[in-house]
Amino acid sequence: EKLDKFSRNKTGEYAVDICDSGKHLLSIINDILDLSKVEAGKMRFYENDVDLIEICDTSIRLLSNHAKSKDIAISLNAREDLPLVMADERMMQQIMTNLLSNAVKFSLALGQITIDINESPMGDIIINVTDNGIGIARDKIDDVLEPFHQIETSYDKTEVGTGLGLSLVKAFVEMHDGELKIESELGRFTTVSIKIPYNRVIIEKDNCVELPVNFKDAKAV
């Protein structure tokens, strides 16, 4: 009886491992397909009004279990009346989820991750994702934006990755006419900054909505 119970437990563990491996493989395949579509100019791009706070909340929920397993705290700082932006919602969700996933992956136990969303004096929306993890050497920052490139450290041997996340983030940000910057110091912190240009910000004036000048109803390019 004890042997049967042990066998059932091990079978359950194997099933979970197989399921996790399958999800990871599917994620890799989807990332490769997305990157291939971007490079071929075949990525479908649908614009709609997007709530960045909702996007961030969803990403935090998706990464909450991984963060809790490492005792990492995640906080979001943004004003409640932050304007909506005209963007592809799926891409924005993938951008935030990839950035947060990287931050959790390379943060040490009891770490802190913050997401700050602000408006620049020019009206751009600036999103900063900061962690106090292992950091990146300054001469390696450009390298991590290249597809399939992974920085070799003793730490990342315990974490699984493909080196596609930041490449996709950069591509998706640029499809929104935005900019991505990385600031980091080895062993101290990493901040990934995304700028969404002011002409994608939806401004409300006297109960009327002023759409960005480049807005077109759900389009594909």
pLDDT tens profile 75-119: 999 999 999 999 999 899 999 999 999 999 999 889 999 999 999
CB 116 within 8 A of CB 128: yes
Run of H or E residues at 189: strand 189-196
> Does residue 127 register a pLDDT over 90?
yes
- From the list 68, 51, 77, 149, the residue with the least C-alpha distance to 107 is 68
What pLDDT, in 10s, does the model give residues 8-36?
566 666 665 565 445 545 555 666 666 66
User: Who has greater pLDDT, 120 or 36?
Assistant: 120
Q: Identify the three-state secondary structure at position 53.
A: helix
